[in-house]
């Protein structure tokens, strides 16, 4: 069965410090990988994606993520956190070559990031 | 580009009534749209996949007669919650598959409250 794990319900970090939000997956093949951010009562905003190429992907708002094939992980990182980064973050995975399955997304459970001033 | 809208953003309805939520791709054609449900502090649960001109594909455990999905055009999909009950209260989010097959663009969500 396909699954995506975000092991931390919540991550607390001080403003200016680096942050990491973890994501691991169990999906067949080499999936497409995504990170989204959600603010209260809002939809999902795209941050970044890994399709192919360099394992370090840079995205919006200074975020980046590192794809690790051997560990099947796609952790989200930012060198210096801002209070405005406080939100709910979702990792999503879509199996490659799953066009027959309409490219479904499998979402992690979400991680609440709290950045304190 | 690749903007998806939802209407309404919030709706309150009485138990037993039906409510329709619209999902539109504003600047691109979406042959496939997805409907998700999100409970408070939880992840998104895929309800169904909607393809233009054909019947929706529902996920296991989702009642197709309760959650009616229509994808009548390449820019519009609708979700109708029929005979709503308080337990249907939730945040409903749609997404549309973009020109590149592996991308999805998400709408801002609709907060449904059934009293």
Give the nearest chain A residue to B2 (CA atoms).
A46
DSSP state of B44: E
What is the percentage of chain B residues whose pLDDT exceeds 70?
A: 95
∠ CA(A42), CA(A102), CA(A32), 5° rounding? 70
Express each pLDDT in B82-98 by its tens digit: 999 999 999 999 999 86
A71 to chain B, minimum CA–CA distance in Å? 23
B9-65 pLDDT, tens digit per residue, is 999 999 999 999 999 999 888 888 999 999 877 788 999 998 888 889 999 999 999
Which residues in A lie closer than 8 A to residue B109 (C-beta atoms)? 41-43
Supply the pLDDT for residue A78.
98
Contact B43 A49 (CB under 8 A): no
Peptide bond into B8 cis (omega under 30): yes
Which residues on B lie below 8 Å from A105 (Cβ)? 34, 46, 95, 104
pLDDT reported for residue A102: 54
Which chain A residues touch B57 with a CB distance below 8 Å?
102
Separation between Cα atoms, residue B99 and residue B25, nearest integer Å: 12
DSSP A84: G
Better-scored residue on pLDDT, B5 or A3: B5
- Distance of residue A54 Cα from the nearest chain B Cα, in angstroms: 18
């Amino acid at each position: 069965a396909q699954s995506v794990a975000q092991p931390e319900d919540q991550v607390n970090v001080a403003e200016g410090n680096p942050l990491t939000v973890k994501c691991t997956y169990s999906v067949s093949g080499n999936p497409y990988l995504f990170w989204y951010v959600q603010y209260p009562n809002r939809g999902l905003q795209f941050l970044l994606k890994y399709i192919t190429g360099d394992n370090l992907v840079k995205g919006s708002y200074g975020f980046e993520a590192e794809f690790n094939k051997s560990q099947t992980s796609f952790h989200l990182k930012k060198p210096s956190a801002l209070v405005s980064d406080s939100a709910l973050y979702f990792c999503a995975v879509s199996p490659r070559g799953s066009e027959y399955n309409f490219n479904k997304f499998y979402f992690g459970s979400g991680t609440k990031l709290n950045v304190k001033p | 580009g690749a903007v998806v809208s939802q209407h309404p953003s919030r709706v309150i309805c009485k138990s037993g009534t039906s409510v329709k939520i619209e999902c539109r791709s504003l600047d691109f054609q979406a042959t496939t749209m997805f409907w998700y449900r999100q409970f408070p502090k939880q992840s998104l649960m895929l309800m169904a996949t909607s393809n233009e001109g054909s019947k929706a594909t529902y996920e296991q455990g989702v009642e197709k007669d309760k959650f009616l999905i229509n994808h009548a055009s390449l820019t519009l999909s609708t979700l109708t919650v029929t005979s709503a009950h308080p337990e249907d209260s939730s945040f409903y989010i749609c997404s549309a598959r973009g020109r590149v097959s592996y991308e999805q663009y998400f709408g801002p969500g609709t907060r449904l409250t059934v009293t």
